[in-house]
Chains A and B, each alone.
Chain A
Amino acid sequence: MWVYFLKRILQMIPVMLIVTFLVYALMLAIPGDPARALIGPGESLDEEQLEYIRKKHNLDKPVIVQYGIWLGKAIQGDLGRSTQNQRPISEELKSRAMVTLQFGIVAWVCAIFIGVPLGIVSAVYRGKPIDFFATIFSIGGVAIPNFWLGIMCIFYFGVVLGWLPTQGYVDIFENPKEGLRHMILPAFALGITSWALIMRQCRSAMLEVLAQDYVRTAHAKGMLQGKVVWVHALRNALLPVVTVFGLQTGRIFAGSIVIETLFGIPGMGQFMIQAIFARDFQAVQGSILIMAMAVLFANLITDFVYAWLDPRIRYDD
């Protein structure tokens, strides 16, 4: 098992290098002079100043050298300064990542505690009304645009009923009650796709497992239905669910871009959008880098959990 882990971590290194290079290369996609893009809009620069900026940011060197220097700095936590407020981008991202992470964790935890049981129940009671409603939920949840669901929640729970706040963020550790109230709508709008996907995966995996011989054997031995489901079937049914989790991390991060803007939450996604509109290029780069690294890390964890749940994988490799 440890050999597998080590191998998997080593495999990640080339992927990490390519990922960081792609993040860096995004700058090359911007039309026009990168030196101008780095300074941000609104500044008129003469040729001499541009030359100075190129030197300072190593833009006069070959791309691969530029990338090397940038990566070296990034590893040390230096992502440059935001052109919006001159603060170091890494500091800004650190405080904002905590906010985004909170929403991500809530959305995930809900996904486990809603998606998995719902999937199991609808598989066990296949064809019954509860299965019907759960299936409708899962089909709708995948197709609904997150931000539109957010708008509808703002309208219904905020405007019509006036039950929940629809804007802003309150630190959950300082004021747990208000923090939670501010969190419900955005976390719901952000998480629903994941809940639906996990429910769906869990249902189909469970159906497959319940049809297996060893489950029938357990039944034949006189084991209680509940025990069969929770002890024998669940572990195997969780495998595809774990796969979905890995993919969903990225989706939740990407979703936070629009959900945070919609609900006025000062997280990483909102920072990235603000940076895009301010043409604060290094800040965009930094945000994408952090999100990509988080997804890579989540994929690694997914693989580890997978290997732990399913011993076959360890020996295959």
Chain B
Amino acid sequence: MTERTAPWIETLFRVVRIPQAAFGLVFISITFLSAVFASVIAPLEPETMDFDYLLSGFSAEHLLGTDQLGRDTLSRLIYGTRIALLVSVGSIGLGVFVGVPLGLIAVYFGGWTDDIIMRVMDSLVVFPSLLIAVALAAALGGSLTTIIIAIGVANVPWMARVIRSQGLSIREMDFVAAAEAGGMSHARIIFRHILPNSLAPVIVQSTLSMGYAVLVEATLGFIGVGVRPPTPTWGNMLYDAFPMLEQQPMLSIIPGLAIFLLVLSFNFVGDALRDVLDPRLKGITH
């Protein structure tokens, strides 16, 4: 009764009690496990071509059918989870590790430091995330790293803005003034006091942005500037499937559904986290 559970465990318990969030967490976990154990659970290698089954529908040999090269859709879908998750985690990680320190510096030092950083962030926000991602992916070329950078850069200003707006009120709190008076170093105040107290909205924003990153990655793949084929990604699968739309619509339907469900899951979890961590927050979407 008196024993206190760790706050993050308590948060988790409250989140899973929301049905949509529970669904989201289950689906994200399945996706995660598929990505880790792809080589074990996928029935075939994603590049294996079976010329007896071209554009086949559902069958015992190929549960979700095959594409025009006879590649197994289920296997490609399972391997595709790797890129989807690597890109979403990697790009949000980049956004957080660059954006959060920038936001913290802006809020802590204020004045012209704040002005300069935030004007640059305001300017970055003017470019729609997808536009930045397309332009950078095209300029840098389509490898996993460049796609992560392309989507990550678009996330930086949002993270900086979120932590700054939360940090503004924390900055004015008495305990920060006390720490300053006590001669604590700037870095220590920022990391010991301001960061932990401003983290909640960053967690919410990160979860929601992960869903969006999955969308952007798939879009890049579909346009043809994503991670290069033959790497199986959901976007590449849709790119290959589009010319075959009339012959085999399932090829277009299945990867799209996977993207939709994963994005939906991240949104559900993000919304639930927001409700639990800070009900005052309104959705910030880009």
Q: Give me the interface of A with B, judged by CB distance under 8 Å.
A: 14-15, 18-19, 22, 26, 29-31, 139-140, 142-148, 151-152, 154-155, 159, 197, 200, 204, 240, 244, 247, 250-251, 253-255, 257-258, 261, 272-273, 276-277, 284, 288, 291-292, 295-296, 299
Contact = CB atoms under 8 A, between A and B. Distances in A.
B218 A145 contact: yes
Contact of B256 (A152, A257, A272, A273): A152
A22 B267 contact: no
Contacts of B259: 145, 148
A139 B267 contact: yes
Contacts of B242: 151
B96 interface: no
The 6 lowest CB-CB distance pairs between A and B, nearest first, are: A254-B128, A250-B128, A148-B256, A254-B130, A18-B123, A143-B264
Nearest to A285: B135
Contacts of B246: 155, 159
Interface in B237-277: 238, 242, 245-246, 249, 252-253, 256, 259-260, 263-264, 267
Given A251-B130, A292-B131, 12 more contacts: A15-B123, A26-B139, A155-B252, A250-B126, A250-B128, A251-B128, A254-B130, A254-B131, A258-B223, A273-B134, A291-B127, A292-B126
Contacts of B126: 15, 19, 250, 292, 295-296, 299
Interface in B180-203: none
A273 B245 contact: no
Given A19-B123, A22-B124, A151-B252, A145 B130 contact: no
B138 A240 contact: no
11 contacts: A15-B119, A29-B140, A139-B264, A142-B285, A145-B256, A147-B222, A155-B245, A255-B130, A258-B219, A292-B127, A295-B128
Contact of B134 (A139, A144, A276): A276
Interface in B205-255: 211, 215, 218-219, 222-225, 238, 242, 245-246, 249, 252-253
Contacts of A255: 130
Contacts, number: 126
Contact of A18 (B119, B130, B131, B223): B119
Contacts of A257: 130-131, 134, 223
Contact of A151 (B123, B127, B139, B245): B245
A152 B135 CA distance: 26
Interface residues of B, number: 43
A26 B132 CA distance: 10
Given A155-B252, A277-B224, A31 B127 contact: no
A169 B119 CA distance: 39
B136 interface: yes
B17 interface: no
A159 B243 CA distance: 13
Interface in B104-126: 119-120, 122-124, 126
Contacts of A29: 136, 139-140
Contact of B219 (A145, A151, A291): A145
A143 B260 contact: yes
Given A155-B249, A247-B286, A284 B138 contact: yes
B245 A250 contact: no
A253 B123 CA distance: 17
A258 B222 contact: yes
B223 A261 contact: yes
A253 B286 CA distance: 12
Contacts of B88: none
Nearest to A30: B139
B282 interface: yes
Given A26-B135, A151-B242, A257-B134, A295 B127 contact: yes
